[in-house]
Structure 1
Amino acid sequence: MKFVRWLITISLTLGVLGTMFVAGVAVFFSRDLPDVTTLKDVQLQTPMLVYSRDGKLMSQFGEKRRIPLAIEQVPQQMVDAFLAVEDARFYEHPGIDVIGVARAFVSLVTTGERRQGASTITMQVARNFYLTRDKTFRRKIREILLAWRIEQLLTKDQILELYVNKIPLGYRAHGVGAAAEVYFGKTVDELTLPEIAVIAGLPKAPSVLNPIHSIERATERRNVVLSRMLAVNAITQAQFDEASVAPLQGKYHGPAVEMNAPYVAEMVRQFMVEKYGEEAAYTQGYRVHTTVDSTLQQAAIHAVVQNLLDYDQRHGYRGAIANPWLMGEEDNVTLQMPSPPWDTAQTKKYLKKFKSYQSLSPAMVQEVGEQSATIALKTGQLSSINWDGMKWARAFISDDKQGPAPKTAGEILQPGDVVMVQPAPESGEYLLSQLPEASAALIAMDPKDGAIQALVGGFSFNLSQFNRAFQAKRQMGSNIKPFIYSSAFAQNYTLASLIADAPISHWDASAGVTWRPKNSPNTYDGDTRLRLGLAQSKNVMSVRLLRSVGIEKVRQHLAKFGFPLSDIPPNESLALGSASFTPMEVVNAFSMIANGGYQVKNHLIEEVEDQHGNRIFHHQPLVACPECEKIDEERVSAQEELDALVDEPADLFALCPAYPVDEANRAPHVIPTPNTFLVTQAMNSAIWGGGNWSAGTGWNGTGWRAARALKRHDIAGKTGTTNDAKDAWFSGFQPSIVATSWIGFDDHKRKLGSTKYNNNLNKEQIIGTEFGAKTALPAWIKFMEVALKDIPVQPFTAPDNIVSVRIDRSSGKLSQQIGNNSRFEFFVAGTEPTQYSEPPRTTVDPFTDANADTPVTDDDELF
């Protein structure tokens, strides 16, 4: 009995001491434990997502990829898999699995090594949120204490939800949603049982057990998970048998981007970092909704890319990128005899050095026939280039000179050449290509509120991140003339005003040279109406207009269109477009012509939401509102009438129509609408020309290719080419959309050059000197073909104070003649001519007057 009492005493003493020790340890390590109540409102680091206006994902930014999920969104099989392999008694223990701890302790005592872990899912949550992964007793004790506290604070499902969203699973994927996307390119609800088992097996060692790193180790770990699921009856034997032998593929899947617009995405990133700070922008899960339309954006990318490829190819082929088959190439020794062809593995390894851009990818020429070639692609697959895919490739000599058209494939290619190719439409073969050396930009926006609908800053963001759309200041050339003419209309010039189209020779004493601006082509027509002068881009007329209006008045007028005054040169070269502006500034200015003179501001971001869908930013654009001005006029008129009738005037506010746009959001009306209407008319003639071709009086505007391609009269535009053709532009609009296309070299010294006829190609090829109509307009047309496809024709409507009278084409004076020598013209009321070009007739007898039955020509119609 004494022994029993002694044993009980010792046991109680040890128990008390043990309890005191455990309590002491708990108190000691609890002193600086973090506050677990933060888990109730935890903000998981989630990347920023960028969307188009129609909800397409364009990009995501952030070091960690995470797709937060509610526990209800996680498939039950995935929950079962994690519980089976990580914590089978999760719903039974209080955060610490005593059995698991005992098993790990026994293993440690018997082996001297930490072979088994005892971490529950709750303990892993504690570690992932608050602790390091250091394998120390101190960290383990703190982990246990935190797990106990977490269990008192949260439900089991809340803990499990934190776990599946926080856990690192390799390749920057955090949480099961991101892992499903990274390893399988799927959402969690699309995963198969074998794929679920792969993801559930990753926490043990995500860097080496994933299928991208090792198919073998991932498969082995997957089957361990499936075995555990079978052991706890989470799956049947049949499911195990099928899933354990399923083939596994290892491939990295990027974010599920639905529309690739990297120049737009980078602009968004810069905005968000500036507004919210770098850390918040990348981790708070912001969802940025832009104004970009996915269909228009893809159309803009295609237009710019194809136009650059077309320009580059008509200037000639610059040769292969490399040819490793030439023996001794790496030692700068070239022998005439090529080495034997490489096998598939050698070819694939070598081609990995070369990147793909847009539709272009590297390939290696294997064999060259008479008019064809066999190529090996980056994947090792063999394909071919037929004659139609390479016959364009005459040698590039300079920007102004090309070699003769080739007759055989051997004049272009040789075995071992590494070249860029692009898929041929629908044939399964490839076309020979090359990376363009020129650059380009295209921007489209809504002229009513400045919303950017599409933006492309170059051929490929991977090739160059320089965004030419808003970073490249380039000389405008003749693209500036509509604004010069607008300044003239502000001084009561009209579309019928005559300006001498004659050579200019001006001695510049300060420079010691004579300035002789010339037309292009170098032809002159004498006194010419302003409509024709702008439509045909007469240089000398623009200079004379500038002189007549006055340089400073023109500069101040151009500043109203948003052009920085400091960038507007105070000399006559301004008339020919010596000023340099970005395409963004240019399209913004043209939007004011399109919208009737309202100063809207371009914007890209519509709204920003946090990761819970709460709106935290909403852009309120300035909106062109001509309807508001009409309502203002109606209210003033009605109030004046009422004031005159009654002694105590009533407030008519409630009786008049409501404003469609709040006063604070109305764009300033800085250019009178009649002024912009006259500019639009001249720009419409730049597209459609005028006169009567059957009568021999027809003429083309510089943008006639747009009329032929789009076949609609509600478009207006203006070409632009600088001296030596270093920059080419086309800016134009339809009432609902305005777009600017620019092309040139990043090297300002380099010219766009010229091309000669290629005998291998059809008659539709572009030849001669490059300029706006040939070089920039094609991209604008390709884009507008898509942008205007479903938009009905919207004729340009004359404002209320615009009148139309018949004028003589030669003199611009009034005319009573109905025929090819006259036309109707628009004027601001009060500026129409008062003199006739011929004596006025008081009566017209349709039975005796020869002109009475003259049919109205196309040019007489008021488009």
Structure 2
Amino acid sequence: MKYIKHLFIIIFLGLTVGASAVIGTYFYIKPDLPSVDVLKDVRLQTPMRIFTSDGKLISQYGVKRRIPLTLEDAPEQLIQAVLATEDSRFYEHPGIDPIGMTRAVMNLILTGEKGQGGSTLTMQLARGFFLTREKTYIRKLREIFIAWHMEQVLSKDEILELYLNKVELGHRAFGFGAAAQVYYGKDINELTLAQIATIAGLPKAPSTLNPISRPERSIDRRRVVLARMLDENYITPQQYREAADAPVTASKHGAEIELDAPYLADLIYNEMVELYGKEEAETGGYRIYATASSELQYAAQQAVRQNLHDYDERHGFRGPIKQLWDAPSASLDGASLTNEQSKSNDTIASPVWSHADMLNALADIDEVGPLIPAVVTRVSERSIMVLEKSGDYRVIDWDGLMWARPYISDSKQGKDPKSAGEIVSEGALIYVRFNEQKDIWQLAQKPEVSGAFVALNPTNGAVEAVVGGYSFYESQFNRATQAKRQVGSNIKPFIYSAALEHGYTIASVINDAPINQWDARSGVAWRPQNSPPQYDGPIRMRVALGKSKNVVSVRLLRAVGIDNMVEHLMQFGFEKDDIPRDETLSLGSGSHTPLEIVTAMSTIANGGYAITPYFIQRIEDEFGDVLWQANPPTACDTCQLFADASAQQSRSDDAFAPVAMEEPPQLSPPAQRVISAENAFLVKEMMRTAVRGNGRWSDDKERNTYWLGTGWRARNILQRTDLAGKTGTTNDSRDAWFSGFAPGLVATSWVGFDNMSRMLGRASRNQNLINENPEKFNWIGNAMIGSEDGAKAAQPAWIRFMDKALGELPESHPPIPEGIVTVRIDRKSGKLTKRTDNSSMFEYFATGTEPTVFEDNTDWIDPFATEDTQQVKEEDIF
């Protein structure tokens, strides 16, 4: 009894000392314990994801990949695999597992090594959130106390859900939702048992057990997980054998991008960084929905790329990327290669380079957009066979080769090729691409010319599509929003709008005749010319804009005055500093971005209202709750302001502040009217003239009044009457533009070289292409000839986009403003007439501006001409 008494005293003292040590240690590390608020409001670092308006993922930003899972969304086998492997008594212990801790202590005593930590799932979570992986006793004690503390404030299900989303699983994947995407490119619920077991085994050592870096070790770890699941009766022996023997199917996957639209994504990313800061934007889990739909954005990207290829191809083939080996053109006695031959490597392997050698050479060449590197392995009379970077062989038929006449310069091309051997030889390293328009594979090259495209909803400024160049990965410079280029005749609709405000009508007659204006200060004459240099004499404003008469634009500027013109242009959103204060302004010498041009055109399209373009439709948090909803000013006469001004979300500096909204706003604030509805309607009417054939055709030259607007191809191809637009070409064709609109959509297309000194040049006839052009697009594409201008270089992208955007939508014509009247006028003089033949037509006028005098035989006099605007003859100067 004496010894028993001493034993109890020793045990009691030991327990007292131990308890005191534990309590002392607790108070020592208590300052490091997380607060209840922190644990209740754990925010996972989740990447920012950007979607189109219809929910297609276009980009993801952030170093850590995480796709949050709720416990209800997690597959049952995943939960079973995690619990069986990491913590089989998770729902039984209070955060610390005595059995596991005892096993870890015994292992330490027996081996002297800290091999087993005895960590529960809660302890792992505590370490992941608040501690490091260093193996020290003080860190372990902190881990124990934090785990116990977490169990007091969180339920078991909450802890398990946090673990599923927090744990690091290699290759920047955090959480099992992200791991499923990174390793298998699938949703977590699409994984097989073998795949689930593989990622469930990663928490122990994600860098050395993952199936990409260490596939052999991942197989061993997978068997361990499956064995634990079998021990816990979660799976059957047959399931175990099938999953354990399954092959490794993992490979690294990027974000599940559904539409690659990097220029649009980059604009939104930069706006989010500006509003929230880089770290918060990239880790806050924001889900941003763009204003652009996937359908229109894709249509714009395809239109721009096809347009740049068309320009590039009609100017000739610049040759292969390089020549891998020198070999005579290998003609197969005039025979054509077939795709059946491409199935046999023995038939087509190069006699000079091996299959592996060619693939090694191709590995150094990156794909650029749709361009795929390939090596020419055989050349036939009118076809070639190529080895693609993927290792597949492909036959390119004559339809995909015949465009490739030699490039000599931007304005000169060589002879049309007659055979494949004139274009390439064996050993040529080239690009190939799939031409969706023709449904063929063809020889290709990287376009040296650049392009941009922007489409807006003119009612509220929502950007429906934006393309900043051929390839974002080649050049991140966004030409749609950053490139200020001379706009040429794209400025003329705004010049004519100002003229309407200063007494002109669209039936006013202006002298289309050469101008020779002596400038005493410079000692030279100002001689603006039409392009082409053709002059029609007295001409109505409608016809002058439709034919894009330069000298008429100059005369209108003179009549309105430069100061008045500058003020008027500023109403459309043009910056004052970007507007030249001389007569070249009327010809488009000012430099503006495509986004600025399309925004200004929206004012004409929407009936006279100023709108502001925006790219973000709404912002959500990681749980799908709306933080911000766009509510832009809208172009309409009946819009009402919010009764509560504080509820209005404007496009101010703090417009995107993350303010919770109970309900999205139902009413939009009205946009500011900057020109009258009548003015906008009349300019739109003149722009309709520019995209169609006009007048009446007659074999009798005296009765023939038919003429074509500079953008006539739009009506010819799209077969719609509700289109309006304007071409634009600068001096020496350095910039080509087309801007126009259809119901509910306005778009601007630009083409030019990044090197502003390089001209777009001209293309000569390629009879090969003229013979085979597709019927629907037989007026645009790589078969066009002549000097490059807005109609040939830029408008085709606009037409292709509108063809997809409008589809089968019926034509729609907005109502005519109440302040517009129509009267019958004489086509030549613009005066009233009683004739009903080809010499007359009905014309629109703002009420009170319609002509009151009938046409007679008196000589025509420009009513707005003054002495300083009269033509100065060349003999008077010299």
Q: What amino acid is aligned across from residue 9 of structure 1 in structure 2?
A: I
**1:307 aligns to what?**
307
Q: What amino acid is aligned across from residue 94 of structure 2 in structure 1?
A: P
* Distance change (3 Å), C-alpha of 1:753 and 1:473: same
CA distance in 2, matches of 1:206, 1:322: 43
Residue 780 of structure 1, aligned match among 786, 794, 798: 798
Where in structure 2 are the equivalents of 1:242-261 lying within 5 Å? Answer: 242-261=242-261
* Distance change (3 Å), C-alpha of 1:628 and 1:23: closer
Where in structure 2 are the equivalents of 1:33-52 lying within 5 Å? Answer: 33-52=33-52
Shift of 1:25: 2.9
**2:363 aligns to what?**
352
Where in structure 2 are the equivalents of 1:351-750 lying within 5 Å? Answer: 351-423=362-434, 430-627=441-638, 665-695=669-699, 696-750=704-758
- Single out whichever of 17-26 and 669-678 deviates more from structure 2: 17-26
* Distance change (3 Å), C-alpha of 1:759 and 1:816: same
CA distance in 2, matches of 1:201, 1:471: 49
1:325–1:339 contact (8 Å) kept in structure 2: no
CA distance in 2, matches of 1:311, 1:238: 62
Please give the secondary structure, in 2, of the residue aligned with 1:616. strand
Please give the secondary structure, in 1, of the residue aligned with 2:147. helix
CA distance in 2, matches of 1:700, 1:261: 37
% identical aligned pairs: 53
Where in structure 2 are the equivalents of 1:282-321 lying within 5 Å? Answer: 282-321=282-321
CA distance in 1, matches of 2:98, 2:56: 49
* Distance change (3 Å), C-alpha of 1:263 and 1:49: same
* Distance change (3 Å), C-alpha of 1:296 and 1:223: same
- Single out whichever of 534-543 and 421-430 deviates more from structure 2: 421-430
Where in structure 2 are the equivalents of 1:314-353 lying within 5 Å? Answer: 314-325=314-325, 341-353=352-364
- Single out whichever of 582-591 and 761-770 deviates more from structure 2: 761-770
Shift of 1:81: 0.2
Shift of 1:361: 1.5
**1:211 aligns to what?**
211
2:735–2:760 contact (8 Å) kept in structure 1: yes
**1:800 aligns to what?**
818
**1:224 aligns to what?**
224
Q: What amino acid is aligned across from residue 721 of structure 1 in structure 2?
A: T
**2:272 aligns to what?**
272
2:513–2:536 contact (8 Å) kept in structure 1: yes
Deviations 1:583-632 (A, max 9, x none): 01100110000111111111111221222333222222111113469xxx
Where in structure 2 are the equivalents of 1:124-273 lying within 5 Å? Answer: 124-273=124-273
2:434–2:440 contact (8 Å) kept in structure 1: yes
Deviations 1:625-656 (A, max 9, x none): 13469xxxxxxxxxxxxxxxxxxxxxxxxxxx
- Single out whichever of 215-224 and 177-186 deviates more from structure 2: 215-224
2:845 matches 1:827: yes
* Distance change (3 Å), C-alpha of 1:440 and 1:237: same
CA distance in 1, matches of 2:217, 2:49: 33
Any unmatched runs of 5+ in structure 2?
A: 328-348, 641-664, 772-777, 859-878
Shift of 1:202: 0.9
- Single out whichever of 206-215 and 717-726 deviates more from structure 2: 206-215
Any unmatched runs of 5+ in structure 1?
A: 328-337, 630-659, 841-863
CA distance in 1, matches of 2:544, 2:688: 13
**1:109 aligns to what?**
109
Please give the secondary structure, in 2, of the residue aligned with 1:741. strand
* Distance change (3 Å), C-alpha of 1:364 and 1:117: farther
- Single out whichever of 397-406 and 765-774 deviates more from structure 2: 397-406
2:326–2:426 contact (8 Å) kept in structure 1: no
CA distance in 2, matches of 1:302, 1:706: 18
- Single out whichever of 347-356 and 522-531 deviates more from structure 2: 347-356
CA distance in 2, matches of 1:185, 1:628: 47
CA distance in 2, matches of 1:428, 1:352: 27
**1:67 aligns to what?**
67
1:303–1:783 contact (8 Å) kept in structure 2: yes
Total equivalences in the alignment: 799
1:383–1:429 contact (8 Å) kept in structure 2: no
Please give the secondary structure, in 2, of the residue aligned with 1:743. strand
When normalised by structure 2's length, the TM-score is 0.88
Please give the secondary structure, in 1, of the residue aligned with 2:836. coil
1:29–1:142 contact (8 Å) kept in structure 2: yes
Shift of 1:156: 1.1
Q: What amino acid is aligned across from residue 28 of structure 1 in structure 2?
A: Y
- Single out whichever of 561-570 and 686-695 deviates more from structure 2: 686-695
Q: What amino acid is aligned across from residue 591 of structure 1 in structure 2?
A: S
- Single out whichever of 808-817 and 831-840 deviates more from structure 2: 831-840
2:81–2:229 contact (8 Å) kept in structure 1: yes
* Distance change (3 Å), C-alpha of 1:759 and 1:166: same
Shift of 1:339: 9.9
Deviations 1:690-731 (A, max 9, x none): 111135321100011001111111111000000000000000
1:447–1:737 contact (8 Å) kept in structure 2: yes
Shift of 1:576: 0.8
**2:872 aligns to what?**
none
CA distance in 1, matches of 2:716, 2:763: 23
Shift of 1:111: 2.4
* Distance change (3 Å), C-alpha of 1:293 and 1:31: closer
Please give the secondary structure, in 2, of the residue aligned with 1:471. coil
Please give the secondary structure, in 1, of the residue aligned with 2:255. coil
Shift of 1:36: 4.9
Deviations 1:555-579 (A, max 9, x none): 1111111111111101111111101
* Distance change (3 Å), C-alpha of 1:111 and 1:366: farther
CA distance in 2, matches of 1:733, 1:819: 32
CA distance in 2, matches of 1:817, 1:310: 47
CA distance in 2, matches of 1:688, 1:379: 46
Q: What amino acid is aligned across from residue 216 of structure 2 in structure 1?
A: E
Q: What amino acid is aligned across from residue 176 of structure 1 in structure 2?
A: F
Residue 834 of structure 2, aligned match among 816, 819, 822: 816
CA distance in 2, matches of 1:17, 1:477: 90
Shift of 1:104: 2.1
